[in-house]
Chain A
Amino acid sequence: MIGLALQMLRADRAKYFAMILAVALSIFLMQNQASIMMSVFAMTGSQIRDVSEAEFWVMEPDTECFDQVKPVPASALYQVRGTEGVSWAVPLTKIDGYARTEFGKLSVVTMMGVDDASLVGLPPRILKGKAEAVRERGTVMIDPGGANLLFPGEKDVIGKRVRIGSESLRVVALSDASAPFTGFPILHMARTTTLMLRQAEERDTTFIVGAYKPGADVAAVERSLRERFGLKALTAEGFMKSSRDYYAAQGIPLLFGLTIVIGLVVGTVITGQTFMMFVKENSRHLAVLKVVGVTARQFAGMLAAQAATVVFLGCCFGTALAAGTSELARELPFLRGVFLPGWVAVATCVALAAVTGVAVMVSFRTIQQLEPAAVFR
């Protein structure tokens, strides 16, 4: 009977495609919005994640997220290095400023001054040039978004210059830095170059990053830094979570969540409505089947097969559309951080299938209440 049910479903092409389209658009909307939300929140930790060597981050106690710039005292580096359980620690300077190019492009930029000796703090992958080149005073490494924004249409940005304040810095490498939450270009440079710009506050170390000694008590290190020196220490994961929570508290998830719920409601209402209409319009045929002896269980199987087909195809198309959109977005330098998490794809499909299941149950009830004797009239 399932084969017949699918044949009946496919025969009404208008409704069949309308239902698949409704599911696909709903899935696309939900996945697209969820994907953007997840990507945006992932971006709040981009620059933390990029410092892959760092197991902990030390900062001012008031700092809640990466984008808040509040330097630590100059003595903090030595206090951290002298704390029991710390294997190594290096300074990291993060400052914001304005960059201009010879073409007249102007943009706010995020500058990351990394330890000259270790270069800890540079992104893990370099697309062009060499990481070591930034040790030279007055040189910078630029991210793809920044290169695109400051040097539009330029295939190779190596050797180009950006002016920050009164200093002209030469681009020596193109990094693969993760897309930042702020959307500003990310310029990596040695700390000596950062200091040269003199745009930071008087104190020039924003963060201290480092690693624990093997077997160190992480909580004890954090406690010691807090109690002895008034410094806040977080693991890399903890700092990413703190950054995420900071932005989440500003209502971003609520806005995206609303759109996701709208997607779910619109998709399921259209699918459910069309499905119920399909059942209603076929009520005479269904009554005939009831008369010739199709059991309630068989009807349930038929409806489930029809709904499963629509949901499966709709989910496939919708997910393909959402994944395709994500991939296209990633081609744009500033949207390179957009991704569609697998669990989001699965969860949205399951949510839509569950709500469509309700429509199937309502339709089943309609069939149960169908008066088979009506076929004689």
Chain B
Amino acid sequence: MTTAPEIQKTAHANARWDAVACRGVKKHFGEGDARVEVLRGVDFGATLGEMTFLVGPSGCGKTTLISVIAGLLDPSEGKLDVLGHQHGELHGTARVLFRRRNLGFVFQQYNLLTSLTAAENAAVPLIADGVRRGVAVKRATELLDRLGMGDKAGVMPKVLSGGQQQRVALARALVHEPRLIICDEPTAALDHKTGESVMQLLATAAVAPDRAVIVVTHDNRVFHHAHTIAHMDDGVVTHIESIKH
């Protein structure tokens, strides 16, 4: 019999976020009449060794927030610290290289390259970082094996099921041993059973003492995997819950 996790509300100001810390982050698109405020002063963070869930209704700004954290979008205002680097510290190629080496991504639609095998897909971050293709694919194959996909390493994505593709995507996010993993709705395209197994895998394979995992999700059936849940609505984080397992 499992014990229900204990939920504790945390005040934003007192949070100790050592992986990602957003303070008063704002982001708007467009100008004048077309100006849309998507983030309206977000206080949010993630801690090493934990899985942080970012939840909220569609259009509340979750995707924009993770895009800002990933360095894919610039915040309009506010303070942002990712793995010890303040926003604005890194520009251009330096920012791309920082993302390449320190961040891993899992997407809702898997986004595997259809022309590459599962192992080659998983090896992309290593190859991009200059690791020789043979070595990179070997390391990716080993990781796929640990994720229960060893026999599918040479298979093209189109013949894999959704759950299998997401495992390959998970391998791609982990292969270069990043310190921060950002998952965008990783279970949205999967049935409950497959989604649960993917989340189980994420919890066991991705969570590590020196790594933080941020998961954006709508799927409240997987909330029990979270260490922290940040609730977002209308461009702000309304409250954060700590869950003791």
Task: Decide if B111 touches A293 in the complex (CB within 8 Å).
Answer: no
B153: min CB distance to chain A, Å:
16
Number of A residues with CB within 8 Å of any CB on chain B:
26
Task: Decide if B66 touches A292 in the complex (CB within 8 Å).
Answer: no
A372 at interface (Cβ–Cβ under 8 A)?
yes
Question: How would residues 93 to 119 of chain B score, 1 for a CB under 8 Å from any chain A CB and 0 otherwise?
Answer: 100110111010101100101111000
Known A-B contacts A293-B99, A293-B101, A373-B73; A7 and B116 likewise in contact (beta carbons under 8 Å): yes
Task: Decide if B99 touches A288 in the complex (CB within 8 Å).
Answer: no
Closest A residue to B101 using CB positions: A293
CA distance A375 to B66 in the complex (A): 12
Task: Decide if B72 touches A292 in the complex (CB within 8 Å).
Answer: no
Known A-B contacts A375-B111, A376-B107; A291 and B116 likewise in contact (beta carbons under 8 Å): no
Task: Decide if A295 touches B115 in the complex (CB within 8 Å).
Answer: no
Task: Decide if A293 touches B127 in the complex (CB within 8 Å).
Answer: no
Instruction: Indicate the member of B96, B97, B108 with the most A CB atoms within 10 Å.
Output: B96
B67, B115, B128: the one within 8 Å of A12 (CB): B115
CA distance A249 to B70 in the complex (A): 66
Closest A residue to B216 using CB positions: A376
Closest A residue to B111 using CB positions: A288
A296 at interface (Cβ–Cβ under 8 A)?
yes
Task: Decide if B96 touches A295 in the complex (CB within 8 Å).
Answer: yes
B184 surroundings in chain A (CB, below 8 A):
376
Closest A residue to B99 using CB positions: A293
Known A-B contacts A292-B172, A293-B96, A295-B97; A11 and B114 likewise in contact (beta carbons under 8 Å): yes
B103 surroundings in chain A (CB, below 8 A):
293
A201: min CB distance to chain B, Å:
75
B63 at interface (Cβ–Cβ under 8 A)?
yes
A118: min CB distance to chain B, Å:
72
A3 surroundings in chain B (CB, below 8 A):
127, 133
Task: Decide if B67 touches A373 in the complex (CB within 8 Å).
Answer: yes
Known A-B contacts A285-B113, A291-B72; A377 and B63 likewise in contact (beta carbons under 8 Å): yes
Question: How would residues 21 to 52 of chain B score, 1 for a CB under 8 Å from any chain A CB and 0 otherwise?
Answer: 00000000000000000000000000000000
Instruction: Indicate the member of B73, B108, B115 with the most A CB atoms within 10 Å.
Output: B115
Task: Decide if B97 touches A293 in the complex (CB within 8 Å).
Answer: yes
CA distance A8 to B157 in the complex (A): 13
CA distance A309 to B120 in the complex (A): 21
Task: Decide if A7 touches B115 in the complex (CB within 8 Å).
Answer: yes
Closest B residue to A298 using CB positions: B128
Task: Decide if B63 touches A292 in the complex (CB within 8 Å).
Answer: no
Task: Decide if A8 touches B128 in the complex (CB within 8 Å).
Answer: no
Question: How would residues 1 to 42 of chain A score, 1 for a CB under 8 Å from any chain B CB and 0 otherwise?
Answer: 101100110111000000000000000000000000000000
In chain B, positions 200-231 with a C-beta closer than 8 Å to chain A are: none
B147: min CB distance to chain A, Å:
18
Question: How would residues 30 to 66 of chain A score, 1 for a CB under 8 Å from any chain B CB and 0 otherwise?
Answer: 0000000000000000000000000000000000000
Task: Decide if A293 touches B107 in the complex (CB within 8 Å).
Answer: no
Closest B residue to A288 using CB positions: B111
A295 surroundings in chain B (CB, below 8 A):
93, 96-97
A298 surroundings in chain B (CB, below 8 A):
128
B72 surroundings in chain A (CB, below 8 A):
291, 372-373
List residues of A whose CB falls within 8 A of some B CB. Answer: 1, 3-4, 7-8, 10-12, 284-285, 288-298, 372-373, 375-377
The 10 closest A-B pairs by CB, nearest first: A293-B100, A11-B115, A373-B67, A373-B72, A288-B111, A376-B63, A8-B115, A372-B72, A376-B184, A294-B128
What are 27 pairs between A and B in contact, CB < 8 Å?
A: A1-B127, A3-B133, A4-B116, A4-B124, A10-B115, A11-B115, A12-B115, A288-B107, A290-B96, A291-B99, A292-B99, A292-B124, A292-B172, A293-B99, A293-B100, A293-B101, A293-B103, A293-B128, A293-B129, A294-B96, A296-B96, A298-B128, A373-B63, A373-B67, A373-B70, A376-B63, A376-B107
